[in-house]
Amino acid sequence: MSDNQAIIVPRISSFPGHEARARVILRWLAQLNVVEERPSTCGRGFNRMAYAIAPGARQVVEQPQLLPFGQSINGLEVVNKRCIYTPTEHFAEEAGCPACRQEIGEALFDSLEEWMPGQTDNFRCPECGHEDDINGFLFLQPCAFSNLGFIFNNWAPATFRQGFLDEFAERLGYPLALVPVVL
């Protein structure tokens, strides 16, 4: 089985108080025993630090037998900086305007050069002028753009339960995107 990620991202570019909210979410996940309370070297990132999978993870997924218990990379990494979350394989970069329904993917993805350094959170449709947070536009494939993200390493095949995703969104206070990534 290839390495993968299930990434939960709030649909807002600049999450207010993102670091504090990340701590709240981590406490909640640790209380549910979904992840361990303290980080260890079970991640994929720069220093490999992540929150290891815990037995309660079986309660939040559809297929617990596919969870990465026993794998060296099995933890939750929290991203607290502006990041673009897209699938790595076959991402089409297609997007539409919610107002005029026109295809505007090329212009939207070109605008990420301004979005990434934080010059703006918004995108303006070149067809009709509708302006919104970049996450408010329509995407054919799951993707999101935010300064907060939760990367569950090797959890994607297990598939999060909808009730868990709904509660996660409620605790974030924003709609969320679930971005599956195959590495």
Q: Write out pLDDT tens, residues 81-135.
A: 999 999 988 899 999 999 999 999 999 999 999 999 999 999 999 999 999 999 9
How many Å apart are CA 62 and CA 23, to the nearest integer? 26
- Check whether residue 116 and residue 130 sit in a common domain: yes
- Check whether residue 18 and residue 73 sit in a common domain: yes
Q: How many other CB atoms are found less than 10 A from the CB of residue 46?
A: 7
Kind of pairing between the strands at 131-133 and 138-139:
unpaired
- Check whether residue 60 and residue 147 sit in a common domain: yes
pLDDT at 1: 60
How many Å apart are CA 70 and CA 3, to the nearest integer? 14
Closest C-alpha to 150, from 119, 181, 115: 181
How many Å apart are CA 178 and CA 167, to the nearest integer? 13
- Output the furthest CA–CA distance in the chain (Å, rounded): 52
- Check whether residue 174 and residue 97 sit in a common domain: no
- Check whether residue 77 and residue 58 sit in a common domain: yes
What average pLDDT does range 151-175 have in this prediction? 98
- Flag whether pLDDT at 13 surpasses 90: yes
Whole domain around residue 49: which residue ranges? 4-84+142-182
